[in-house]
Each structure stands twice: as C-alpha cells, then as structure tokens.
Amino acid sequence: MAEFRTPIGTRDILPPESARWELLLARFARIVEAAGYGLVISPMFEDVEVFQRVGESTDVVRKEMYQFTDKGGRELALRPEGTASIVRAFVQHRPPTPWKTWYAAPSFRYERAQAGRYRQHHQGGIEVLGTDDPDVDVEVIALAWEFFASVGLRLVTLKVNSLGDATCRPVYREALRAFLEARQDQLCDEHRTRWEENPLRVLDCKKPECVAATADAPHQLDFLCDACAPHFARVKDGLAALGIPYVVDARLVRGLDYYTRTTFEFASRALESAQNALGGGGRYDGLVEEMGGPPTPGIGFGIGLDRTLLACNDEGVMRIEDLSPRLDVFVVDFAGGDGARDITFRLRSAGLRADRAFGGRSPKSQLKSADRSGARLALIIGPDEVAAGQVAIKDLRAEPGTPQHVVARDALIDEIRRRLVSDASTVGPVSNLES
C-alpha cells in the first residue's frame, strides 16, 4: 500500500520540537494579553469574497488561495492571512471599540514550497479596530518588537513607511502612474502588462528590472497630506521614545492592497534574504467599510511563527536543549503490582508532572525510559520496597553510583517537592511554558 506522507509544503511538528512552539505561543499570548488584547478564534475558511475584498490584485489572493466549492455549492477559501477574518468578525458582531484582538492560527498559500516557505504556515497576530491614534501604531509595533526580544532574537530589523490616506494616496498614485507609464517597457514581464492595475505593487516587485526601473520613482512620503504627515511623525517619535530602532523605507508598500498610512515590516539579518521577512503589518483605515461595516480605522500585524523559529535556530536561541524538562518524576515498577498505577496518580493529583513505564518491561528498559523522559527523578518500586511500604528515589542527574534514597510512601510527595525546590528551574507544573 502507498505510504501516506504530509502534503507538499506542510509538515508535522513533533515533540520535542513542538515544545518550542508551545513556548513561542505562550510568550506571544502573554505579551499581547498583558497589553489588553483578547483572543479571537475564527474559522479556518471563509466565504472566498472575504479574502477577495482585501487583496484582489495580490498574488496571495489571485494565485495562491486554496479555494473550493463545498457540497452545498458555496465558494469558500482557506484563510491565507489573519486580518480579513478579524475584520469580517468585527463587521458581523460590532463589538465596542477600540477592539483589541489577537490570534494564532495556520495560514494557507499555494506557494512554491522551499525552506522557510510552506503551504501551511502559522501566524500570530494582533489587530486593533476603531482608533486612528498614532500611539496605537506605536503600541502595535512595540508589541511585535517585545515578542522578538522575549524569545532572544537580536538580529531583527524594522522598516516603516507611510502610505497616506484617501486624500493623499490618489495624488501620489497618479504621480506614480505617470512615472511608470513612461517606463513601462523597462518593467518585468508581469508588470509590463499589469502595472496599471495597482501601480504600488510594482514598487514591491523584487525582479531586477522593476527595481532598476523604479529607482527614482516618486515616494508617497513626499506627498503626505496635512493629516498623514503629523500622524507619521508621531509614530516615528513614539518608536524613538521607546528605544525601538527603525529605518524609514519609502519603497515598503507590503503585499496586500488594503494598507493606509503606517506600514511596517520585520526581517531577520540571520536568515537568507529571500525568506528573511519575520512579519509585518500596518493600518487599513478603509477595510472595515470595504467589508460592509461603518467607517472604522484599524491596524495590526501578522508574524510568521515558522520563520521566527528559523531565526531562533540561526541565532542559537530558544534551543530545545535549553527548555526546562517537561517532567518532574518518572515511575518505574519492578514489583509488578499496583504501585506504579497508584503512585503516579497520587503524584499527578499533587500537581507534580509524572509519567511511568507500562507493560511490565524489564528493569533495564524501564530505567532507560526514565532517562529518556528528561525527568529529574525516578521513583523505583521493587519487591523490597513494596514489602516495606517504601519507594526508592533516584536522582537521574546524579553521578553514576550515587546511592538511592529510600522513603516511606507517606512521606514521598514532601520528599520529592523538597528535592525539586533545590533545582528551582524544574519546580511547578508546566513551569517551562510560563517562565
């Protein structure tokens, strides 16, 4: 029979690697929740139009979407990014504003799969709806920055730009249109014919022809209106005040169509340049209206969690071997009675992290499992211990030959706690996720 494998561009994340994901998600949740953001869990698929509204002319929506017709004839698509669903949810439920939300979920894009580019990747993001205060832009950027810092990344760079609003963007667009019209035959194959559809996208094109042809293109920053210019100035002041280093990149237009005013992107200097984007986001002050809601400004970011972990690999941080062990105790039973069953249950009820061997395996093989489990202590229940109402405690990190310590069953929990306290890093349930 054919051997089943994960579809191209997807992968299984197994233990112990998955422990890094748990830690990453816990960090993200802790940071954004401490700033007043609430979790939104929305469907993995939506009416295809929800995504078409946000990016009709983008590759993500035009070419890469997992689109399908369900058995009821509905046109649906798997989410390619997170913002559209949050905006749809806002329009549907009309929560009080400002609505500060976060999510962590897979995104699906039919891309050419390669290292750091998957067909299912995972994004953690936040969105704030209902305020255009530039201090919110600073808050959003600062939270992403704090997240990268919290996992130990040092080689993260931040680019910011402003794309103007409904007043100044059309004026700029027209200037850019005129500029591109005069140079259309110098653009790449795709943009030679499509530049007019969304002239800003040409600035985002990485093909050398487009990069060269647009080197002197006009910048939105030179066209910002009386409302957008001070808004952007306040954002830059805020970043400087918080000590967050950034560069202004007038070519930063981002992939999706809906951005207005502040846009930003984080990249890693540790990663290869084609796949070095860690995340990005920006304002989308017209998107709620576009989706059928009342005029409502919004801003958010999406961070690629797969890429964040690749950057961690390259910077040598958040290593599996640095995570604290997941277990306190491993119970082995050579007596073959009820000991392992009953004691393991008691340990867990007392809040200790405990696992055990099953299937009456040999002492040698049970002790090997104890070693492999990463637990600090093994509890050994042999016939002598059963007869005496005792349990032997073996420190799995002690030098070979260190004598085991025998305690009465009644005193067991206290003795284990005493020993774990002497190694603070392993104390308490799921301590490694909350540190």
For binding to ligand AMP (CB under 6 A), which residues are involved? 81, 109, 111, 117-118, 121, 123, 255, 277-280, 302, 304, 306-307
In the complex, minimum distance from the CB of residue 110 to ligand AMP, in angstroms, rounded to a whole number = 9
- What are residue 320's phi and psi, to 5 degrees? -55, -40
Token pair belonging to 32 = 């954004």
| CA atoms of 435 and 433, how far apart (whole Å) | 6
Beta-strand ranges (E) seen in 84-239 are 99-108, 120-129, 156-162
Token pair belonging to 336 = 């073959």
CB atoms within 10 A of CB 307: 24
Using alpha carbons only, how large is the chain's radius of gyration in Å?
27
In the complex, minimum distance from the CB of residue 206 to ligand AMP, in angstroms, rounded to a whole number = 13
In the complex, minimum distance from the CB of residue 76 to ligand AMP, in angstroms, rounded to a whole number = 20
> Residue 281 or 339: which CB sits closer to ligand AMP?
281
> Residue 148 or 232: which CB sits closer to ligand AMP?
148
> Residue 154 or 418: which CB sits closer to ligand AMP?
154
* Alpha helix segments (H runs only) across 350-389: 363-372, 383-388
Q: What is the DSSP letter of 310?
A: H
In the complex, minimum distance from the CB of residue 80 to ligand AMP, in angstroms, rounded to a whole number = 8
In the complex, minimum distance from the CB of residue 106 to ligand AMP, in angstroms, rounded to a whole number = 10
Residue 362: exposure state from Cβ atoms within 10 A (0-12, 13-18, ≥19):
exposed
Of 107, 99, 98, the residue nearest 45 (C-alpha): 107
In the complex, minimum distance from the CB of residue 367 to ligand AMP, in angstroms, rounded to a whole number = 41
> Residue 79 or 169: which CB sits closer to ligand AMP?
79
In the complex, minimum distance from the CB of residue 51 to ligand AMP, in angstroms, rounded to a whole number = 12
> Residue 263 or 432: which CB sits closer to ligand AMP?
263
Token pair belonging to 193 = 């014919």
Token pair belonging to 169 = 């963007």
> Residue 127 or 306: which CB sits closer to ligand AMP?
306
> Residue 118 or 284: which CB sits closer to ligand AMP?
118
**Angle between the N-to-C axes of helices 48-55 and 83-93, in degrees from 0 to 180, rounded to the nearest 10:** 110
> Residue 110 or 179: which CB sits closer to ligand AMP?
110
| CA atoms of 284 and 298, how far apart (whole Å) | 5
Q: Which residues contact 285 (CB under 8 A, 6 or more apart)?
A: 132, 165, 166, 260, 261, 297, 298
Q: Which residue is nearest to ligand AMP (CB)?
A: 304
In the complex, minimum distance from the CB of residue 12 to ligand AMP, in angstroms, rounded to a whole number = 16
Residue 180: which H helix or E strand, with range?
Answer: helix 169-181
* Three-class DSSP category at 234: helix
Q: Which residues contact 242 (CB under 8 A, 6 or more apart)?
A: 138, 142
**Within the chain, how many helices (H) and strands (E) appear?**
17, 16
| CA atoms of 221 and 406, how far apart (whole Å) | 74
> Residue 61 or 176: which CB sits closer to ligand AMP?
61
In the complex, minimum distance from the CB of residue 278 to ligand AMP, in angstroms, rounded to a whole number = 5
In the complex, minimum distance from the CB of residue 81 to ligand AMP, in angstroms, rounded to a whole number = 4
Q: Are 313 and 132 in contact (CB under 8 A)?
A: no
Q: What is the DSSP letter of 404?
A: P
> Residue 204 or 395: which CB sits closer to ligand AMP?
204
In the complex, minimum distance from the CB of residue 267 to ligand AMP, in angstroms, rounded to a whole number = 8
* Three-class DSSP category at 130: coil
| CA atoms of 61 and 22, how far apart (whole Å) | 30
Q: Which residues contact 85 (CB under 8 A, 6 or more apart)?
A: 42, 43, 46, 50, 79, 103
> Residue 276 or 366: which CB sits closer to ligand AMP?
276
In the complex, minimum distance from the CB of residue 175 to ligand AMP, in angstroms, rounded to a whole number = 26
> Residue 108 or 330: which CB sits closer to ligand AMP?
108
